[in-house]
Amino acid sequence: MSNANKKKAAASGDHDYELVVIGSGPGGYTAAFRAADLGLRVALIERFPTLGGVCLNVGCIPSKALLHTGKVIEEAAAMEQHGVSFGEPFIDLDKLRGFKDQVVGKLTGGLAGMAKKRKIEVIQGVAEFKGPNLLSVAGSDSNKKISFAKAVIAVGSQSLELANMPWGDPRLMDSTDALELEEIPDRLLVIGGGIIGLEMACIFEALGSKVTVVELTPQLMPGVDPDLVKPLQRRIGKRYAAVHLDTRVTRVDVDDHALVAHFEGKHSGKENFDRVLVAVGRTPNGAKINAKSAGVNVTSRGYIPTDKQMRTNVPHIVAIGDVVGQPMLAHKATHEGKVAAEVCAGGKSAFDARVIPSVAYTDPEVAWVGVTESEAKKNKLDYGVGKFPWAASGRALGIDRSEGFTKLLFDKSTRRIIGAGITGVNAGDLIAECALAIEMGCEAEDIGLTIHPHPTLSESIAMAAEVFEGTITDLYVPKKKG
Amino acid sequence: MSNRIEIKVPDIGDFSDVPVIEILVSAGDLVKVEDSLITLESDKATMEVPSPAEGVIRELKVKLDDTVSEGDIVAVLEVSDAAEDGAGSAEEPAAAEPPASKAPPADEPGQAPSEPRAAQEPPAQPETGVAALDPSKVPYASPAIRRFARELGVDLTRVAGSASKGRIVREDVSAFVKSVMSGTADSTVASPGGLRFDFPELLEVDYSRYGEVEKQPLSRIRKLSAGHLHRNWIGIPHVTQHDEADIMDMEAFRKANEDDALAQGFKLTPLVFLIKATVAALKKFPRFNASLDRDGETLVLKKYFNIGVAVDTPDGLVVPVIRNCERKGIMELASELAEISGRARDKKLKPKDIQGGCISISSLGGIGGTGFTPIINAPEVAILGVSRSHMVPVWDGESFHPRLMLPLSLSYDHRVIDGAEAARFTRYLASRLEDLRRLTL
């Protein structure tokens, strides 16, 4: 530590750092950067050699790079219908993996650079609390103690492991393993029909695997409005080897040539696969940092409860991201990270977002924000729906992907938007406008009267609002009686 | 997997956001059917949420001081006849849904913060649920304005928006702060009409300097009453009309039937006759059976006759309501009155027992006094105070006769009722008591 730093540390109450951030995922690095920008002396602790956490290294970013590859393969194949043939693709897996790694490297390297510019001390090692103001960090060759005035717990989550599976066999993968892209299996079983499972299924199917998806509940992406899932289900139903709903995998056995999965439920029996991917959810890492020695409460499931200012029960220790609860999404964590940093710097910020959008980057994409129609029904809200089918969108027809639709939910008395769901190409990008509209308290007319560029898929949002208002001209909607 | 059910808050009348005042079980507890799990309190009534089945509480979804509404999940119960462990729980992770669609995790019970914290706020996540989007409940303000308000410590639910349809803009927040700082907006009392409540501050006094003192916290009921009474006292222009009813004949009639009532297990009190007479007066003067709409521009006239009766309990005053008094006979009312006052004293009132009143009667006749000015139980528009009857010489034009007179004090909301009307109402009511036969007219 330099002399100048020592002086500053002394001024902040004799701690090594004014703020220590444990975990450098999107939440953690955002908190560290924002706190440094607010003038705090910050250390960022990361157990892996690169910054960025699951999202940048083994999650959102690499999966999206590969999903893009898959999309181009699919689109090239679809061109045959339009009279343009490219032939079978040749896939150089090493090169593809290289591209993905390079994208990840660019981003994580960028983070390291930005940390340095902000004079944030990046410490590699596994952190554990040793007291309310003390941490130990076990590095590869050293073990040091760090004292802090305030701390941000941003330790994230990890994939849930299922019982009765041959963990240790390289053919049994979680999402991290799958993104390593060791090979393109001939027959792939994806256990878990949620967002992660379906995105991975999408990648491998495009790369040439015969994919089977098995989901425990009666619906893919449980919790999402069934109508939003339907276009996706229809598309993959035709392309995948099988989609088994209401089905459980009781165990996976190892055979010399295959992994043998045993099914129970609506679909039963056993089948051989070359690889099996388990994507049944994620579990928070709250129990792994000896939080109790700092007095921080951790629930039996490993979550760390916080208030709206992200403070744990110990006010000078805050927690953000996956470890504080669902939804486990990077964009939730980054917002929480900013709040945490501002609160640690003495500000009055609080996490006060009304909605957090969710996106499945499948093909087609499924995105939703705010109240879902199922929730609206369950809570007996007085709501109205404006639904615009993309079959009436010139742009959707032009790209030959008219299976999607845009659905907006409005509060009937104030006519304000309370929720939205979009299925179709680029739904994940389109949903952002709906999130803004909800936060701003837009009425249906505000959306419909805002001129959207033509011809774009974004028009579908304005048109869905017009459907609700009854002013749509691009569809013929018979007049409501009464 | 074992059979888990979610226990939800049952129908609790018109109330929502009711505080949890007691948690009677913890996770892992064995419960039987109808065992009470938590106690809720709305206004002055408490109620317990019972277990619908026998089993083990796996998870409590509420904490002390949480507020709940009908349908909210209280706890997860593992019903015992389907209980199985081992294999079932090992496979639990398979039930996990994909991250984004999973409900927010509930806080574990028994995880109360080890250190007390100044402001106990709910966890951040549930704030983005359906409730966070209900336009009738959340301030109409954009994220930037919400942040601005937070920085200034402004509660946006108290700020009136000036933009189209009541949207709150930056200027509204600034103006609110300015008005609070300059004292034009009172922080506790809404002051329609721009009236300023420029009270001198109450000085802090060290009472023990003058002698021995003892501090006693107010009961919950008393604290709740305090707010209501203060609001009604300040917010309603009260006038009290005094009159007397000659109840000599009524008392003779009541006493003649007293034993009859006692034989059926209840007392026949003068209050029952007052209820009957009040119903008759409400029928004759419908404006007394009304409420002023919140906008202050519409009168809501009620076609039912539910009478609130103030009951003194050790914890403070409660006003249970007897419904549809117009359809009930004297004896039926007497029996119901005995039953509901008993429950009030035993703190067993349900929320619906204290809802829906049209007018209240506060009788201090059993104690004494010659008159008082009761405070209206808003949104009702009148309250009848009754003091102790006493024998007086009444001049009938030729001679004095000893008559038993009952003092009546009717406080009324002058925004709704005029003085002459109130005098007529009280006289009419008294005349019904003076000759009970008129009640049948």
> How many Cβ atoms sit within 10 Å of the Cβ of residue A132?
15
Which residues of chain A does B164 touch, with a Cβ-Cβ cutoff of 8 Å?
none
Which residues of chain A does B73 touch, with a Cβ-Cβ cutoff of 8 Å?
none
The answer to whether residues A460 and A388 touch, using CB atoms and an 8 Å cutoff, is yes
Task: Note the pLDDT tens digit of each residue in A301-318.
Answer: 999 999 999 999 999 999
Would the CB atoms of A221 and B105 count as touching at under 8 Å? no
Would the CB atoms of A194 and B95 count as touching at under 8 Å? no
Task: Return the top range by mean pLDDT from A423-437, B62-76, B162-176.
Answer: A423-437
Alpha helices in B182-269 (DSSP H): 220-235, 248-264
The answer to whether residues B321 and B332 touch, using CB atoms and an 8 Å cutoff, is no
Would the CB atoms of B127 and A308 count as touching at under 8 Å? yes
Task: Note the pLDDT tens digit of each residue in B184-200.
Answer: 554 444 444 455 566 77
User: How much of chain A is helix, strand and coil, in % rounded to 5?
Assistant: 35, 25, 40
Which of A191, A232, A280 best probes binding to B when mutated, by most B CB atoms within 10 angstroms? A280
Nearest chain A residue to B165 by CA distance is A414
Residue B61, chain A, CB below 8 Å: the answer is no
Q: So what's the pLDDT on residue B63?
A: 83
Cβ-based neighbours of B294, under 8 Å, separated by 6 or more: none
What's the mean pLDDT in B89-101? Answer: 36
Alpha-carbon distance of A452 to B259, in angstroms, equals 83
Percent of chain B with pLDDT over 90: 41
Instruction: Say whether pLDDT at B14 is over 80.
Output: no
Packing angle of the helix pair B270-284, B419-434 (nearest 10 deg): 130
A348's tokens: 């009055």
What's the mean pLDDT in B285-304? Answer: 90
Q: How far apart are the CA of A384 and the nearest CA of chain B, in angstroms?
A: 14
Instruction: For chain A, give every residue range classified as CATH 3.30.390.30.
Output: 358-469
Instruction: Say whether pLDDT at B239 is over 90.
Output: yes
Q: So what's the pLDDT on residue B54?
A: 81
Instruction: For chain A, give every residue range classified as CATH 3.50.50.60.
Output: 3-159+283-344, 172-280
End-to-end Cα distance, chain B:
68
Q: So what's the pLDDT on residue B433?
A: 95
Alpha-carbon distance of B155 to B173, in angstroms, equals 9
B367 - beta bridge partners? Answer: none
Which residues of chain B does A314 touch, with a Cβ-Cβ cutoff of 8 Å?
113-115
The answer to whether residues A445 and A465 touch, using CB atoms and an 8 Å cutoff, is yes
Instruction: Identify the architecture of domain A358-469 in CATH.
Output: 2-Layer Sandwich (3.30)
Nearest chain A residue to B110 by CA distance is A299
The answer to whether residues B384 and B365 touch, using CB atoms and an 8 Å cutoff, is no
Choose the weakest-confidence range: A19-28, A457-466, B76-85, B194-203.
Answer: B76-85
Q: So what's the pLDDT on residue B108?
A: 38
Q: Which of A283, A313, A358 sits opposite B117 (nearest CB)?
A: A313
* CA-CA-CA-CA torsion sign (A242, A247, A248, A253): negative
The answer to whether residues B212 and B390 touch, using CB atoms and an 8 Å cutoff, is no
Does domain A3-159+283-344 bear CATH number 3.40.640.10? no
More confident residue, B84 or B45: B45
Instruction: Say whether pLDDT at B164 is over 90.
Output: no
Residue B1, chain A, CB below 8 Å: the answer is no
Q: Indicate the pLDDT class of residue B102, thresholds 50, 70 and 90.
A: very low
Residue A441, chain B, CB below 8 Å: the answer is yes
More confident residue, B403 or B117: B403
Distances (CA, A) of A336 to A344, B108, B213: 12, 22, 50
Q: Which of A283, A348, A356 sits opposite B150 (nearest CB)?
A: A348
Q: Indicate the pLDDT class of residue B97, thresholds 50, 70 and 90.
A: very low
Q: How many CA atoms are closer than 13 Å to the CA of A457, on its beta-carbon side?
A: 26
Percent of chain A with pLDDT over 70: 97
Which residues of chain B does A355 touch, with a Cβ-Cβ cutoff of 8 Å?
128, 132-133
Alpha helices in A118-194 (DSSP H): 175-179
What's the mean pLDDT in A28-35? Answer: 98
Q: So what's the pLDDT on residue B165?
A: 85
Q: Indicate the pLDDT class of residue B11, thresholds 50, 70 and 90.
A: confident
Residue B147, chain A, CB below 8 Å: the answer is yes
Q: Count of H helices and E strands in chain A?
A: 14, 22
Task: Return the top range by mean pLDDT from A5-14, A261-270, B192-201, B311-320.
Answer: A261-270
Would the CB atoms of B153 and A221 count as touching at under 8 Å? no
Cβ-based neighbours of A239, under 8 Å, separated by 6 or more: A205
Task: Note the pLDDT tens digit of each residue in A347-374.
Answer: 999 999 999 999 999 999 999 999 999 9
Q: Indicate the pLDDT class of residue B4, thresholds 50, 70 and 90.
A: confident
Q: Indicate the pLDDT class of residue A6, thresholds 50, 70 and 90.
A: very low
Alpha-carbon distance of A369 to A225, in angstroms, equals 11
Instruction: Say whether pLDDT at A39 is over 90.
Output: yes
Q: How far apart are the CA of A190 and the nearest CA of chain B, in angstroms?
A: 13
For A302-333, b/e burial (b = at least 16 CB within 10 A) is: bbbbbbbbbbbbbbbbbbbbbbbbbbbbbbbb
**Residue pairs spanning A and B at CB distance below 8 A:** 184
Task: Note the pLDDT tens digit of each residue in B376-409.
Answer: 998 999 999 999 999 999 998 999 999 999 999 9
Q: So what's the pLDDT on residue B205?
A: 86
Which of A213, A232, A283, A313 best probes binding to B when mutated, by most B CB atoms within 10 angstroms? A313
**Answer CATH for A172-280 from 3.40.50.720, 3.50.50.60, 3.30.360.10, 3.30.750.24:** 3.50.50.60
Choose the weakest-confidence range: A71-75, A116-120, A176-180, B34-38.
Answer: B34-38
Task: Return the top range by mean pLDDT from A129-133, B187-191, B354-358.
Answer: A129-133
What's the mean pLDDT in A463-476? Answer: 93
Which residues of chain B does A196 touch, with a Cβ-Cβ cutoff of 8 Å?
98-99
Residue B128, chain A, CB below 8 Å: the answer is yes
Q: How far apart are the CA of A188 and the nearest CA of chain B, in angstroms?
A: 18
Q: How far apart are the CA of A223 and the nearest CA of chain B, in angstroms?
A: 5
Q: How far apart are the CA of B164 and the nearest CA of chain A, in angstroms?
A: 11
Examine the residue annotation and report whether B414 is marked as an active-site residue of this protein: yes
Q: So what's the pLDDT on residue B107?
A: 40
Q: So what's the pLDDT on residue B441?
A: 76
Residue linked to tokens 């003058």? B210
